[in-house]
Homo-oligomer: A and B are copies of this chain.
């Protein structure tokens, strides 16, 4: 039985990796897999894999490993990927369009029910078969279709404002791609995708590497 304890964020972050690997092995006809095998496939330690899988409540058998199908189902349940969550996207710009067109989100339980923008040139056009609606229609759709997740890809300046109107319409989670933090009331979950943070780590590590090995002439 799956634990109801809260799953650590690092583990949540690794779950998708396990999922893709497990599904692949499932398709190859395997029914069980050991954590040592998973570990070397994903370039991590077996212990960490075991600890992560422990969160699912699925028990493995010595010399056999874990049953793959129950694992997949347990992880998907912990992530809520077993049944679709209704989402909307606001800000049909460059990034927004890329996300809308990213098919794998469907496998992650994300169902984009509406796309909104406030640019007159974009409203009414179609992106991946979905018509772009005006921002004014957003609260109504959130309420009528009990939307759970708002994907925020508007310019930084209006991000807080749009987030506010999402929340007041009843959204419970926001997936924000804007560089600045946004504030929301208690109970609403915000997850930010910080591209700048990722780049900072990359370049910081790069400099360190250069510092260790006196860079090749440039």
Contact A110 B78 (CB under 8 A): no
The smallest C-beta distance from A186 to any residue of chain B, in angstroms, reads 10
Give the number of residues in A that approach B within 8 Å (Cβ atoms): 63
Residue in A16, A180, A202 whose Cβ sees the most chain B Cβ within 10 Å: A202
User: Given the complex of chains A and B, what is the CA–CA distance between A42 and B218 in angstroms?
Assistant: 38
Stretch of A28-36, A118-126, A187-195 on the interface side: A187-195
Any chain B CB within 8 A of the CB of A108? yes
Any chain B CB within 8 A of the CB of A135? no
Any chain B CB within 8 A of the CB of A7? yes
Stretch of A62-70, A93-101, A160-168 on the interface side: A93-101
Any chain B CB within 8 A of the CB of A146? yes
The smallest C-beta distance from A193 to any residue of chain B, in angstroms, reads 5
Residues of B within 8 A of A104 (CB): 179, 196
B9, B187, B189, B202: the one within 8 Å of A175 (CB):
B202
Q: Which residue of chain B has its CB nearest to the CB of A94?
A: B98
User: Given the complex of chains A and B, what is the CA–CA distance between A148 and B203 in angstroms?
Assistant: 10
Q: Which residue of chain B has its CB nearest to the CB of A179?
A: B20
The smallest C-beta distance from A98 to any residue of chain B, in angstroms, reads 4
Contact A102 B94 (CB under 8 A): yes
Given contacts A97-B98, A181-B42, contact A80 B191 (CB under 8 A): no
Contact B98 A13 (CB under 8 A): no
Given contacts A42-B181, A43-B181, A98-B97, contact A172 B209 (CB under 8 A): yes
Q: Which residue of chain B has its CB nearest to the CB of A44?
A: B181
B4, B15, B146, B201: the one within 8 Å of A200 (CB):
B15
Contact B12 A201 (CB under 8 A): yes
Any chain B CB within 8 A of the CB of A142? no
11 residue pairs from A and B, CB less than 8 Å apart: A7-B208, A12-B205, A13-B198, A17-B180, A20-B179, A108-B203, A109-B203, A148-B206, A189-B202, A191-B198, A191-B202
Known A104-B196, A108-B200, A173-B202; further 11 A-B contacts with Cβ < 8 A: A7-B204, A9-B204, A12-B204, A13-B198, A13-B201, A20-B179, A43-B183, A148-B206, A175-B202, A189-B202, A191-B201
